[in-house]
């Protein structure tokens, strides 16, 4: 009984091995892969209230096509505020670089002369009051008042002299540098506000088909929150795997023919665009009759003549052109 079972197991193994051998390709010029699944989540870079949704799920989308819009009014106000702030800072910066006007310098010089004259008069008045106080002709309070008046006029002279010196020498380099930095900051703020206003319109980055829509008119969205999911239809890539002995037959630029199970009589033309520099185990998703434990190299094949029948994720057979 045990001998019969052993013979039966051996016979089944031989038959299975024969069937596997007959099912595998005669050489490595036939590969198996899938059409790459390529999609992208689209989101607004700014937040706000959705004012208009222009597309729906299943729509065919062209690159640059508007998909949705936010209410632009708050963003327009921010831009106008930044523009007004820039105008004010530009005027101040121009004044700093040109320096003070000659009229201002002349006025400061006249104010200094007047302060010096008042100080001289106050000094003479104090001297007279001091002489009178020595004889007892005036009170101590009158002398103190004259001294206070003299000190005030001397302080005014020092202030007027400093003001004239500043006008004659102009702004310090540090003040000019600070004004220039403020101007650059105002320009950057305006550019940022203008970009935010432009981002109120969400556009498609490339051709594709809209898979999902996550927003409605009137809803509030946050920056970066997914609004749409777009399946990219161009270019069409096929991911296939080649064993190491046949790696040299599939260099970058090699021409191949691709067929699908649903349309075996409609071949597509493709070109190997990328060959992985590292080996990996064949993914379970690849429909190949060969063993899945072999180390292989991943290929990216660019389909030259795709059509709507070549759908993402579809199994594909790749044959090397002679």
Instruction: Give the pair of three-digit tokens for residue 261.
Output: 């199970």
Please report the DSSP string for 41-110 in residue order. Answer: EEE-SS-EEEEEE---TT-EE-TT-EEEEE--HHHHHHHHHHHHHHHHHHHHHHHHHH---HHHHHHHHH
What is the per-residue pLDDT for 293?
A: 52
* 154-181 burial: b if 16+ Cβ within 10 Å, else e: bebbeebeebbeebeeebeeeeeeebee
Give the distance, in angstroms, between the CA of residue 304 and the centroid of all CA atoms in the same chain: 32
Summarised one tens digit per residue, pLDDT across range 10-45 is: 554 544 444 333 444 445 678 989 999 889 999 999
Q: What's the pLDDT at 16?
A: 45
Residue 70's Cβ-count burial label (10 Å; 0-12, 13-18, 19+) is: buried
Q: What is the pLDDT of residue 25?
A: 44
pLDDT of residue 99: 67
Please, what CATH class does the domain formed by 40-71+196-232 belong to? Answer: mainly beta
- Cα–Cα distance between 33 and 296 in angstroms, integer? 12
pLDDT at 105: 66
Give the Å distances, CA to CA, from 159 to 4, 166, 265: 121, 11, 98
Residue 274: which of 296, 256, 251, 245 has the closest Cα?
Answer: 251
Q: What is the pLDDT of residue 8?
A: 52
Structure tokens belonging to residue 244 = 């190491």
Decide: helix, strand or coil at residue 267. coil
**Eight-class DSSP state of 29:** T
Whether 273 and 302 have beta carbons less than 8 Å apart is answered as: yes
- The residue ranges of every structural domain in the chain are 22-38+234-320, 40-71+196-232, 78-194
The DSSP secondary-structure symbol of 1 reads: -
Question: Which of 222, 219, 210 is CA-nearest to residue 67?
Answer: 210
What is the SS3 assignment for 118? helix
Q: Residue 217 carries which DSSP code?
A: T
d(CA 313, CA 322): 27
Q: Which segments of the chain have a pLDDT < 50?
A: 2, 9, 12, 14-26, 287, 291
The phi, psi pair for 188, rounded to 5°, reads -65, -40
d(CA 134, CA 121): 20
Q: Are 200 and 223 in contact (CB under 8 A)?
A: no
Of 96, 72, 58, nearest in space to 212 by CA: 58
* Extended beta strands in the chain, E state: 30-35, 39-43, 48-53, 60-61, 66-70, 201-203, 208-213, 220-221, 226-232, 237-243, 255-260, 268-281, 295-303, 315-320
Task: Please report the pLDDT score of residue 165 as a whole number.
Answer: 67
CA angle 232, 237, 239 (to 5 degrees): 125
Q: Does CATH place domain 22-38+234-320 in 2.40.30.170?
A: yes
Give the tens place of pLDDT for each residue, 169-214: 666 778 888 999 999 999 999 999 999 999 999 999 999 999 999 9
Cα 52 from Cα 119, distance rounded (Å): 74
pLDDT of residue 156: 87
Nearest to 196 by CA among 87, 114, 74: 74
């Amino acid at each position: 009984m045990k001998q019969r079972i052993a013979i039966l197991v051996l016979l089944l193994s031989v038959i299975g091995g024969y069937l596997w051998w007959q099912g595998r390709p005669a050489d490595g010029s036939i590969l198996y892969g899938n059409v790459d699944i390529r999609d992208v989540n689209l989101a607004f870079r700014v937040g706000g209230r959705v004012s208009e949704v222009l597309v729906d799920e299943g729509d065919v989308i062209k690159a640059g096509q508007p998909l949705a819009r936010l209410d632009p009014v708050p963003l327009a106000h921010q831009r106008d505020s930044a523009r007004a702030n820039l105008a004010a800072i530009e005027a101040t910066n121009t004044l700093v670089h040109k320096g003070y006007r000659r009229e201002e310098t002349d006025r400061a010089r006249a104010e200094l002369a007047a302060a010096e004259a008042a100080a001289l008069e106050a000094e003479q008045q104090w001297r007279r009051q001091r002489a009178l106080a020595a004889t007892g002709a005036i009170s101590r309070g009158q002398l103190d008042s004259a001294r206070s008046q003299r000190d005030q006029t001397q302080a005014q002279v020092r202030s007027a002299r400093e003001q004239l010196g500043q006008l004659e020498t102009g702004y310090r380099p540090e003040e000019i540098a600070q004004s220039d930095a403020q101007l650059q900051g105002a320009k950057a703020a305006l550019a940022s506000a203008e970009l935010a206003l432009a981002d109120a319109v969400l556009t498609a980055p490339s051709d594709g088909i809209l898979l999902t829509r996550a927003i409605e008119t009137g809803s509030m969205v946050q920056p970066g929150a997914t609004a749409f999911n777009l399946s990219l239809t161009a270019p069409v890539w096929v991911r296939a795997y080649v064993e190491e002995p046949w790696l040299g037959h599939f260099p970058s630029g090699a021409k191949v023919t691709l067929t699908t199970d649903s349309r075996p009589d409609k071949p597509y033309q493709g070109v190997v665009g990328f060959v992985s520099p590292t080996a990996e185990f064949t993914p379970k998703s690849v429909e190949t009759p060969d063993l899945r434990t072999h180390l292989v190299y991943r290929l990216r094949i660019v389909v030259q003549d795709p059509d709507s029948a070549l759908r993402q994720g579809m199994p594909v057979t790749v044959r090397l052109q002679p």
